[in-house]
Structure 1
Amino acid sequence: MHTIEPFYNWLELYSATDDPRSPLYGAENSLMQYTNTIYGYYIHPQWDDIDSETLFLKILYVDYELGFVVIEFIGEWNDTLNNDIMKLKRNIIDPLIQEGIKYFILIGENVFNFHGSEDDYYEEWFDDVEDGWIAALSFRDFVLSEMRSYNLDYYINSGGTLDDLHWRTYTPKRLFALVNSMIQKRLGP
């Protein structure tokens, strides 16, 4: 796990630790010292801590003018034992919403398991972005299946054309435009 790095090709465009409006502003990540672990396995030090034992993330890009964020995750999304959704919602999502973010692109190819619980925080998040959306890209099929078993697909757009999107090949704004177009087609006229 220590060799899995967050996507860094957009780093010259945005850094959450340098953004005074970011909930991760001023966070320091070592390039030399591995400190965070998931189930005893060290993870790359560039992943950001959200006070969860099993889920870490990297805010890859924020555009306050267009109101969108791209967040990449690593670990096990465990709402049952660690209430990861509460920590994510309170520590990351709420501050972003307060800054005007209403479109959330979640990258989940490094989420290796999901354990669901109640959907209250997902419902709250969905309500908070009333005229926005939440989209899941690159999550593993069994993770999405488990999320669907808790009816989280009511709140988070996933599957279909979103599964086929090779997000790394786009600029952040182009990725947002594509995801927005796909979701608008789902919503219909």
Structure 2
Amino acid sequence: MQNIEPSFQWENKYNASQDHKSPFYGRKYSETIYEHDIYGYYIHPLWDEIESETLYLKILFTDYQLKFSIIELFGEWNDTLHNDIMFFKRKVIDLLVEQGIKHFILFGENIFNFHGTFEDDYYAEWFEEVENGWIAALNFPEFVEKEWTKYHLDYYINFGGNLYLENWRTLQPEQIFKGIDLLLSRRLNP
């Protein structure tokens, strides 16, 4: 797991640790010191921690004019034992929403498991806060999406179907946003 790095293809355009509006502004990173782990397995030091034992992330890009943020997730999303949605919502999403972000693109190909609960307060709150916006989850494993459906998170998060971008790392963030916005405007307003 220590070899799985967050994507860095847009660092010349955006770096969350240098963005004074970012929850991770001022963070310093080491390429050699591994301090965080998931179940005893060290993870790459470039992932940002949010006080969860199992869920880490990286804000890859944020555009305050277009009001979108692209976030890559890593680890196990465990709402049952660790209430990861609470940490994610309070430590990251709330701060971005305060800055006017209302479109969230989550990439989850490095989410290895999801443990849900039928308490959906944080998801519902997030959904309400992005009125006239959306939350899109792309490239999550199929079994995670099935669990999300089981716990009715499809009420709040758009996923599945044509929300899969195999080549997302070769695209520019604005292209991804505009494509998803067009797709979701058709999906949400048929």
Residue 188 of structure 1, CA deviation: 2.5
Unmatched 5+ stretches in structure 2: none
Q: Distance in 2 between matches of 1:52 and 1:27?
A: 17
Residue 166 of structure 1, CA deviation: 2.7
Partner of 2:153: 152
1:27 corresponds to which letter in structure 2?
R
Partner of 1:32: 32
The answer to whether the 8 A contact 1:10-1:60 is kept is yes
Partner of 1:139: 140
The answer to whether the 8 A contact 1:48-1:58 is kept is yes
Partner of 2:97, secondary structure, is helix
1:92 corresponds to which letter in structure 2?
V
CA gap of 1:146–1:165, structure 2 versus 1, over 3 A, is: same
Residue 164 of structure 1, CA deviation: 4.5
2:68 corresponds to which letter in structure 1?
F
Q: Distance in 2 between matches of 1:9 and 1:106?
A: 16
Normalising to structure 1: TM-score of the pair?
Answer: 0.98
Deviates more, 1:160-169 or 1:117-126: 160-169
Q: Distance in 2 between matches of 1:187 and 1:112?
A: 29
Partner of 2:104: 104
Unmatched 5+ stretches in structure 1: none
CA RMSD of aligned residues (A): 0.9
2:170 corresponds to which letter in structure 1?
T
Residue 104 of structure 1, CA deviation: 0.1
The answer to whether the 8 A contact 1:29-1:48 is kept is no
1:121 corresponds to which letter in structure 2?
Y
Superposed, which structure 2 residues align to 1:49-60 within 5 Å?
A: 49-60=49-60
Deviations 1:132-162 (A, max 9, x none): 0000000000011011100001100001111
Superposed, which structure 2 residues align to 1:159-178 within 5 Å?
A: 159-178=160-179
2:104 corresponds to which letter in structure 1?
F
Alignment: residue pair count:
189
Deviations 1:37-86 (A, max 9, x none): 00000000000000000000000000000000000010000001110000
Q: Distance in 2 between matches of 1:42 and 1:180?
A: 36
Runs of 4+, deviation exceeding 4 Å: none
Identity over aligned pairs, percent:
57
Partner of 1:32, secondary structure, is coil
The answer to whether the 8 A contact 1:137-1:165 is kept is no
Residue 119 of structure 1, CA deviation: 0.9
